[in-house]
Structure 1
Amino acid sequence: MNTKYINLIDQTYYFPQEEFTLEDDGLKFHDIPLMDLVEKYGSPLKFTYLPKISDNINKAKEWFRLAMEKNNYKGQYHYCYCTKSSHFKPVLNEALKNDIHIETSSAFDINIVEKLKESGRVKDNTYVICNGFKRDQYISNIARLINNGHQNCIPIIDNYEELDLLTDAIDDTFKVGIRIASEEEPKFEFYTSRLGIGYKNIVPFYDNQIRNNEKVELKMLHFFINTGIRDNAYYWNELVKCLKVYVRLKKVCPSLDSLNIGGGFPIKNSLAFDYDYQYMIDEIINQINIACQEADVPVPNIFTEFGSFTVGESGGAIYEILYQKQQNDREKWNMIDSSFITTLPDTWAINKRFIMLAINRWNDEYERVLLGGLTCDSDDYYNSEQNMNAIYLPKYKKDKPLYIGFFNTGAYQESIGGYGGLQHCLIPHPKHILIDKDENGNITTELFSEQQKAEDLLNILGYGPGENGKATSL
């Protein structure tokens, strides 16, 4: 009988795959023996494989180049990285090696941009696309960046008041974009995105607030839908509506020359993942070409803002199975040495799937299990690929440690999980490792941050040494 874990994976999926291979009975990720990481750094462990960031950026650039060539498309393509996916300096440094641009979401993003400008990684010609609802500090920071000479900073207007606020704060002329408030998928609880300005109001907004404003030049129309870029009727219908707005606006606004189609490329969440990126890009470029030809307007330059696609597949997490609890005749709970709620919050908040595989013992027999985290919260569990299939892992044996890995976790998990701050039940955040390649192609590792200590959490909670501040009267 084929009862080993390796037999299960081989029968269920095409294996090995591009990033996953096996050596003896241990898993390798991009040729990195993961048990070597465990032996060197311990568990729990988070890691970021930096070369994968550049790899995905350049794949997307090539897909757009081929699509534009195939469709004889006359516009340019600009790849932007959505910084909210991961703000970490090593991530931004790696991404910016590839002649890309960036998209921001809030005030402190601009402070990061200024740091990157000081180091020379953000150039004067780098586009900084400023999305999000803009409160006073965000307006002030955008204005400072533009007033200091960064002319390729393009704030995207999200509501009717932002343009006046920016006009007052910025000294000279500046460029803007307008975000379309797209209609949400029918299954959503609301009909229209809270972000942006409605389809029917875009041209009137331009006529009333931008056309005769000598300080403002409209350059970009921004389009994004929450479900991402999917090959379904909903996406194509929304894209067509967006293009109708673009051509109407272009006919009355000659300075408009760019269409931002946002982010939303999916990333691999299963060994059975299948998505035809080239087909989707070909068809998007084709639809834009057709709409502009029929309306007799020039095609726009294309901007994208890929976040998860840029960094998601670079990240991973490794846990040890500490203990197995047999709770009834059918349910075996494998307890990990960390918490899903704190380290992979999307598994808890939105039932997100990640690729999950055993790190070692692939030649052992397997069993069906549930995975539980350390917090005393009933929701701290991972129920195989979040409620789609059962979880099978090598059989738990007290004298043979078992390690498991979650992969493609590089987007959002640290910021949503409150990296470096308080964690639920005061479970410490794991140590974080950066993995890179040197000039000879050899794998290098670096400890980016240690696992949180009790003192770190006590200081946040006000139990640290010294005074925590003095009370003042109102």
Structure 2
Amino acid sequence: MKLVEEHGVPLKFTYLPQISNNIQRAKTWFADAFKKHDYKGKYHYCYCTKSSHFKHVLDEALTNDIHIETSSAFDIDIVRALKKEGKITDKTFVLSNGFKREQYVTNIADLINSGHKNCIPIIDNYEEIDLLSEEIDGKFQVGIRIASEEEPKFEFYTSRLGIGYKNIVPFYKNQIQDNKKVELKMLHFFINTGIRDNAYYWNELHKCLKVYTALKRICPTLDSLNIGGGFPIKNSLAFDFDYAYMVDEIVNQIKLVCEEEEVDTPNIFTEFGSFTVGESGGALYKILYQKQQNDREKWNMINSSFITTLPDTWAINKRFIMLPLNRWHDSYERVLLGGLTCDSDDYYNSEQHTNAIYLPKYNKDKPLYIGFFNTGAYQETIGGFGGLQHCLIPTPKHILIQRDADGNLKTRVFAEQQKSENLLGILGYEPETKVEAAKANSISKSKI
């Protein structure tokens, strides 16, 4: 409420200390598991930049001795900028995922040619080795991404990304084994649903480990396994996930399979995006008005839009923790939440497993404020931060919360709420200058 009183709503905030907190939690879980199982190998934490490319996020994350994973050509430009500032060095692993063409290949090659040997392109299709070889001077390392089988509920069976389980060993023999310019370092295993304690995940992990051990027997340079597909984050107050157990069991399973197949255990890389940055974000709104549309349905209208500020709520039906910020001890009522756009999909109508939201009763004389929490991953980039917004609803003011040198929390404004001239300029209109507006105003007054 102090933030609301100081900055107004709608308001987005990023609580930067939570980024470092989650990174250190994960590092501790892996360190404990390595020690318990006497695991031979190193652990490397990578941050997926696609979750949030903002400089303040990368600056905070990189204070924790981590590595990064990129997805596109412009990502490499961010890497260059971070290197100039000394935030990362040539020793930082840059894992370049995604389908690579033209500019992305060129940018990866430029980075490696400049001396960043720990930039490892993850091969996604059969042509990428040749494309990279044409532009990279000298020897370079690569990884291979496995095209995992998707969960049964998906509309397709196999991921479009990577190379199929059965094709990886033949691919290595055909394009890498006798290629003196290319060295295979990593096998990349990514599960779209993330790391979860279910039969599907453990089955896919075992299939991946069988491929790894088969490759390792014929490829001595292979020494790393990337278990991509991140941890889930809290989306309900009832959320319960035993992270430490999952890490312990993953490390245990990798060691057991490698011992059975009599190969050395690999270095383990993880790629955590949402887990890194998700819990740092929040969105605050005011209930503007209540509309009673029938005997049962009351619509609380927020002073912003879900489509523009929390796009995942309508695009993939994602749930976030939602709580009132004030009036906790008042009487509650069942409501639906609606956004300001004239779009029937601009609403939020359920919290976890129920089809209802309960909030303090609407009272026009007692303002009600609500917050959505753990919204730090993807929402700004998918929503098109700083660009056009649906129905021209402006992007909210965004503040950063961080600790100063003495450990005290401080806030600073990252971006003010979007203005009309920002949107008009993008749309090709010529916004009135202050001089023109003043002139027009004086003419209208003289006519009156």
AA of the residue aligned to 2:404: D
What is the TM-score when the length of structure 2 is the normalising length? Answer: 0.95
Aligned ranges 1:91-130 → 2 under 5 Å: 91-130=57-96
Name the counterpart of 2:244. 278
Question: Is 1:79 equivalent to 2:45 in the alignment?
Answer: yes
Paired residues of 2:194 and 2:229 also in contact (CA < 8 A): yes
AA of the residue aligned to 2:40: K
How many correspondences in the alignment?
A: 432
Give the secondary structure class of the aligned counterpart of 1:60: helix
Name the counterpart of 1:338. 304
What's the CA shift string for 1:201-256, capped at 9, x where partnerless? Answer: 10110100001111111000000111111111000000000000000000000000
Structure 1 vs Structure 2: percent identity of aligned residues? 78
Name the counterpart of 1:133. 99
Name the counterpart of 1:173. 139
Name the counterpart of 1:230. 196
Q: What displacement does 1:90 show?
A: 0.2
Q: What displacement does 1:51 show?
A: 0.1
Name the counterpart of 2:403. 437
What's the CA shift string for 1:314-356, capped at 9, x where partnerless? Answer: 0000000000001111111000000000000000001101000
Name the counterpart of 2:443. none
Q: What displacement does 1:263 show?
A: 2.8
Name the counterpart of 2:318. 352
Paired residues of 2:309 and 2:383 also in contact (CA < 8 A): yes
Name the counterpart of 2:359. 393
Q: What displacement does 1:165 show?
A: 0.2
Paired residues of 1:352 and 1:386 also in contact (CA < 8 A): no
Name the counterpart of 2:231. 265
AA of the residue aligned to 2:133: T
- Of 456-465 and 108-117, more deviation after overlay is shown by 456-465
Measured in 1, the distance between the counterparts of 2:424 and 2:397 equals 18
Question: Is 1:51 equivalent to 2:17 in the alignment?
Answer: yes
Aligned ranges 1:157-172 → 2 under 5 Å: 157-172=123-138
Question: Is 1:144 equivalent to 2:110 in the alignment?
Answer: yes
Which one of the candidate residues 338, 357, 366 is aligned to 1:372?
Answer: 338
Question: Is 1:89 equivalent to 2:62 in the alignment?
Answer: no
Paired residues of 2:282 and 2:371 also in contact (CA < 8 A): yes
What's the CA shift string for 1:52-91, capped at 9, x where partnerless? Answer: 0000000000000001111110010000000000000000
Paired residues of 1:351 and 1:386 also in contact (CA < 8 A): no
Structure 1 segments unaligned to the other structure (5+ residues): 1-34, 467-474
Q: What displacement does 1:443 show?
A: 1.3
Measured in 1, the distance between the counterparts of 2:153 and 2:230 equals 18
Name the counterpart of 1:60. 26
AA of the residue aligned to 2:39: Y
Which one of the candidate residues 277, 290, 310 is aligned to 1:324?
Answer: 290
What's the CA shift string for 1:259-299, capped at 9, x where partnerless? Answer: 00013200000011000001101110011001100111000
Give the secondary structure class of the aligned counterpart of 1:434: strand
Which one of the candidate residues 159, 175, 185 is aligned to 1:193?
Answer: 159
Q: What displacement does 1:387 show?
A: 6.4
Give the secondary structure class of the aligned counterpart of 1:384: coil
AA of the residue aligned to 1:452: Q
What is the TM-score when the length of structure 1 is the normalising length? Answer: 0.90
Paired residues of 2:235 and 2:352 also in contact (CA < 8 A): no
Question: Is 1:37 equivalent to 2:6 in the alignment?
Answer: no
Q: What displacement does 1:389 show?
A: 3.9
Name the counterpart of 2:329. 363
Name the counterpart of 1:312. 278
Measured in 2, the distance between the counterparts of 1:286 and 1:142 equals 34
Give the secondary structure class of the aligned counterpart of 2:184: strand
Name the counterpart of 1:454. 420
Which one of the candidate residues 205, 221, 229 is aligned to 1:255?
Answer: 221
- Structure 1 segments, 4+ long, off by >4 Å, are none
Name the counterpart of 1:10. none
Measured in 1, the distance between the counterparts of 2:231 and 2:170 equals 32
Paired residues of 1:110 and 1:141 also in contact (CA < 8 A): yes
Paired residues of 2:142 and 2:185 also in contact (CA < 8 A): yes
AA of the residue aligned to 1:206: Y
Name the counterpart of 1:18. none
Paired residues of 1:46 and 1:431 also in contact (CA < 8 A): yes
Give the secondary structure class of the aligned counterpart of 1:112: helix
Structure 2 segments unaligned to the other structure (5+ residues): 433-448
Paired residues of 1:347 and 1:386 also in contact (CA < 8 A): no
Give the secondary structure class of the aligned counterpart of 2:32: helix
Measured in 1, the distance between the counterparts of 2:365 and 2:305 equals 23
Paired residues of 1:435 and 1:445 also in contact (CA < 8 A): yes
Measured in 1, the distance between the counterparts of 2:293 and 2:363 equals 17
Question: Is 1:413 equivalent to 2:379 in the alignment?
Answer: yes
Give the secondary structure class of the aligned counterpart of 2:255: helix
Paired residues of 2:424 and 2:431 also in contact (CA < 8 A): no
Q: What displacement does 1:464 show?
A: 2.6
Give the secondary structure class of the aligned counterpart of 1:116: helix
Measured in 2, the distance between the counterparts of 1:265 and 1:84 equals 15
